[in-house]
A and B are shown apart, each in its own frame.
Chain A
Amino acid sequence: MATILPQGSSIFDKHVENEYVRFDKLSALVIDDISSMRHAIRTQLQSIGMNSVGVAVNAHEALELIGVNTYDVILCDYNLNKSSSGQHFLEYLRNENLLSGTTLFIMLTAETEYSFVANAVEFIPDDYLLKPCSETKLRSRLERLIDRRTYLIRVLKAMDIRRYDVAIHECNKLLATAADDRRRMDVLRRKAEAQLKLEDYTAVLDTYARAATIRADAPWILLGMARAHYALGDSPQASSLASELIDKNKNYVAAYELLAKVRLEADDEEGAFDLLLRSSVILPSAKRLRSVAQAAFLLGRLDEAKANAEAAIQLSTGSMVERSGDYLSLAQTLVDMGDHKSAISTLEKNARKHGDEGIFGVAKGAILAQAYFDAGEREKAKKLMDRSISLLASRKNSFVMTALGKAALKVGDVILGLKLLTKAIQCSGKDEMRIARHVKKSMVDTGQKDKVEDVIDGGRKRILLLVDEATKLMRTAHFEEANQMVVEALDIQEENIETLMTAAQLHLLWLKHEGLDDKIMARAKTYLSMLDKLVPNNQKVMNFYRFFNEIASK
C-alpha cells in the first residue's frame, strides 16, 4: 500500500502524532438496536485493535453497563428506538452527570437525519459519524478524537473530580503553548465550563470573548455568553444573544429555553409558554414536554396541559426518564378540567405501578380527594385528605402541600387550606417563583383570590415585624419578651435565616448578661447548628460560634 506520509517535504513531516494511538488499551461500548449492525461495529473495533468492546441493545442496557464501567469510547446509534433517541440518551447522561468527561461519545446517524439533529441541540456529542462507515474511516476518526482527548486529559480528569480550579490552571498551561486555533478553542471551551461551575461569570465572559476572537459565531460561545449575562442579571443582553442564535439556527432549543426563562422573570407567561412549546416541538423530550405541560397548566390552558402531560408519559414510559410525578400533573389538570372520572382512573389505574408509598402516595391522596369531592363522594374525599395530612407529617414538599391545600379549600376547610398553602410557599426554597404561581392558581380556582397576597407573602411581613421588635427588646435587655417574639416568628417559618440570626444573637447576649443557664445554652446551640446547616461558612455565624465558645469556656 502506498504510504501517504510526505517525503522530502520538510514542513509537513512532524505530522505523525496519530501513529501513537494504542487501541488495545481502550474500551468501547456500542449501542444499537439492530443486532447485525451492533456486531458488525464491534467486529470493526476489534479489528482496529480494541480488546474490550461491550454491546447494548438499548439505553437501559447501556445505562447498566455505564454504571459499572468507564468507557473510553461510546458509539451510540441515533435511532435507538421509537420513543427514545441517542440524543435523549446523551442529554440524560449529561444532565445526570453519568458520563465521565474522559469518555468520547460518538453519535452514529444516517445522512438524512444528522445535520438537523446536530444543529439543534446543546448537548453535542464529541463527533457524528455517518453510519455505516468503513473500518478505515472509523479508525482515522477515532485516532483524531483520541488525540484531542489526550491533549485535554488533565483538564478532563480535574473536571471529573470537580476540581474546577485545577482544571482552569491546566487550561491556562495549555493555552500558553497551544499550537493552533483548534486546540485553543478546545481549551477555551473547557475553561469556560469550569469557570461556569465556579459561578465566576465575569471570568466566563472573558473566556468566551477570547474564544470569539477566533470564531465569533460558534453557537456554544453565543449560548455560553447569553447564560453568563443572564446569571449576572443582564437579561436584555442575554435575550439579544439568544435571539441571535435563533436567527442563525431556528432549531437551537437551548436558546429558546433561555429566552423562556427571561420572559418568565418579566412576568410574560404567555411568551415563555410559546418559547417552551417551540423547543418541545423541535426536539421533544419528556423533560421539555413536562415543562410545557406545567406552563400551560399555570396559564389555565388546560387542554394543552393535558396533551403535553400525556405526551410526556407516553414518551417516557418504560424508559429511564419515567417519572411518577407526570401522573400527578395530569390528574390535577384533569380535576381542574372538571373531568374527575379520568383523574381518578389516571391515578388508580394507569399509575398503579407507582403504588401509594412515600411522597407520591401523599400527593396522590390529595388529588384523589379533590376528584372524589367533585364526584360527590365527600366522605371518601375527607378520608383521603386526612390520610394524606397525617402522612405529610414532617415532609416539606411544596408541590404536595399545594395539592393538599387545594384539596382542603375544596372540601371547605379554609383555615387548613390557607395554612398548607402558606407552608408550601415557606418551604419552596429555590422553587419559590414556580410554587407561588401554583399556589396562586389553586386559590383563584377555589374562590380565595382575595387572600392570595397574604398567602404568597408567606407571613414574611409578620416575621419582619416580629424580628424587628425582638431586636429592640433585646437591646434593652428584655430577653424574655424578645424570645417570645422570636418563637412566634419561628412558628411561622422555622428555617428563616434572619429570624435564626436574631434568635442566636439574643441567646448569646442573654448568656453574657445573666450568666450560664443550661436551657438557654442548649437553645443557643440548636440555633447555631441550624444556621450552620442553612448558611455554611457564613462569617457572622462563625463569629457567633467563637463568642459562644468563649462564654462556655468560662
Chain B
Amino acid sequence: MEKTLSALVVHDIKNALALLEIDLEQLIHREDAPTEGIRAYRRCVDLKSRLISFLTLYKYDQSGLQPLTQEVVLLEFIEDLVRHSQSGMAPESHHGHKITVSIDYEKMQMGRMATAWLDENLVELAMESALNNAIRYAHHRVDVWVEQTPDALILNVQDDGVGVGVVGALMQRNIPDQSSSTGLGLALCKAVAEAHGRGEVRLESISGGGTLFSMTLRSAS
C-alpha cells in the first residue's frame, strides 16, 4: 500500500512539473519574456530531469533496464542533444557564467551518416545529465563529440572547469552518492551504459584543467 501510494505521489509530482515546464516554455517563447521566467524554466527543467533520473535508477535497482534499441543517426542525435541544452537561453554555470556548448567536429570519429543501435530515450537521459553536470562546473565552454569504433560507441563531454579532483572526488567511487545531483547523474549514466551491454562510464581530469566524461556503449555499434 505504502509503495503504491508513493508511486502515485511521485507520478503526480512528475506530471505537475512537466505541466509547469510546458507553461514556462510558452512564457519564454514571448519576445518580452523576463529573465526570471527563463531562470524558472531552467530550474523546472533541471528538477524534472532529476526526478526522471531518480525514477529510472529506481527502476534499474528494482528490475534492471531493458533497452529498446533503435537505429539512430549519431549526428542527428548529438545535434539535438546540444540544441536541447540551449533551449530558452544560453546555459549558465553554477557561478552564473554563460557557457557555450558545441560539438567538437574535429574530434568526431565516424562516418557522415553513421548510425548506432541504442535506446535513444535512455542514452539521451544519461547524456543530458552528463551535459548539465559539465555546464554546472565549466568556466566558459563545454564540448561534445562521439567516437565510433568497430565494437564500441564512446560519447564524450568535456568542460573547461577545475577538474574532478577538486569538485567531485566522490564521483569516482563505485557507488556514487545519489543524494547529490552529480552523483545521481553519474549513477544513471552507469546504469544506462550497463544496460547497453558491458558499457562503462569514466570521469577524469585533463591536463590544463577541465573534466572529461566518457560513456562507452559496447552493444551499440
Please determine whether A40 and B56 come into contact, CB atoms closer than 8 angstroms: no
5 CB contacts below 8 A, A to B, read A15-B76, A40-B18, A112-B58, A140-B84, A144-B73
Q: A136-B84, A180-B113, A182-B115 given as contacts; is B67 within 8 A of A43 (CB)?
A: no
In the assembled complex, the Cα of A112 lies from the Cα of B65 at a distance in Å of 9
Instruction: Let me know if A527 is at the binding interface, CB within 8 A.
Output: no
- In A87-124, the 8 Å CB interface with B consists of 110-112, 114-116, 118-119
Interchain CB contact under 8 A, A114 and B18: no
Q: How far is the CA of A414 from the CA of B129 in the complex (A)?
A: 75
Interface size on B, residues (CB 8 A): 48
Residue B90 at the A interface, CB < 8 A? yes
Tell me the smallest distance from the CB of A128 to a CB of chain B, in Å: 7
B181 within 8 A of A: no
Compute how far the CA of A181 lies from the CA of B71 in the bound complex, rounded to whole angstroms: 9
Contact A43-B86, Cβ < 8 Å, known A110-B11, A132-B19, A180-B113: no
Quick check: is A415 within 8 A (CB to CB) of the other chain? Answer: no
B22 interface neighbour in A4, A14, A132, Cβ under 8 Å:
A132
Q: Are B15 and A34 closer than 8 Å at their CB atoms? A: yes
A392 at the interface (CB under 8 A from B): no
Q: Are B83 and A134 in contact (CB under 8 A)?
A: no
Contact of A111 among B59, B73, B75, B83 (CB under 8 A): B59
Contact B84 A134 (CB under 8 A): yes
Q: How far is the CA of A110 from the CA of B15 in the complex (A)?
A: 10
Establish whether residues A131 and B68, one from each chain, have CB atoms under 8 Å apart when the complex forms. Answer: no
B164-201 contact mask (Cβ, 8 Å, vs A): 1 or 0: 00000000000000000000000000000000000000
Whole-angstrom distance between the alpha carbons of A12 and B23 in the complex?
Answer: 36
Q: Decide if B25 touches A12 in the complex (CB within 8 Å).
A: no
> A185 near B100 (CB under 8 angstroms)?
no
Tell me the B1-26 residues at the A interface (CB within 8 Å).
Answer: 11, 14-15, 18-19, 21-23, 25-26
A-side residues, CB < 8 A to B, are 1-2, 4, 6, 9, 11-12, 14-15, 18, 34, 36-37, 40, 43-44, 47, 110-112, 114-116, 118-119, 128-137, 140, 144, 179-182, 185, 215
With contacts A6-B105, A47-B29 known, is A40 near B22, CB below 8 A?
Answer: yes
With both chains docked as a complex, state the minimum distance between the C-beta of A297 and any C-beta of chain B, in angstroms: 34
Residues of B within 8 A of A1 (CB): 86, 89-90
Partner of B52, one of A37, A130, A137: A130
Once A44-B25, A182-B73 are accepted as A-B contacts, the answer to whether A140 and B113 lie under 8 Å apart by CB is no
B29 to chain A: which residues have CB within 8 Å?
Answer: 47
- Among B65, B89, B100, B103, which residue has its beta carbon within 8 angstroms of that of A6? B103
Is there contact, CB below 8 Å, between B115 and A180? yes
The contact of A115 among B48, B67, B83, B105, by CB within 8 Å, is B67
What are the 9 closest A-B residue pairs judged by CB atoms, nearest first?
A: A132-B18, A118-B68, A180-B113, A40-B22, A115-B66, A9-B105, A136-B87, A140-B80, A182-B71
Contacts of A131 in B (CB 8 A): 18
In the complex the two chains form, what is the Cα distance from A179 to B56 in whole Å? Answer: 36
Q: Do B26 and A181 have beta carbons less than 8 Å apart?
A: no
Residues of A within 8 A of B52 (CB): 111, 130
* Interface status of B112 (Cβ within 8 A of chain A): yes
CA distance A125 to B15 in the complex (A): 23
A2 near B90 with CB under 8 A, answer yes
A144 to B121, CA, bound (A): 14
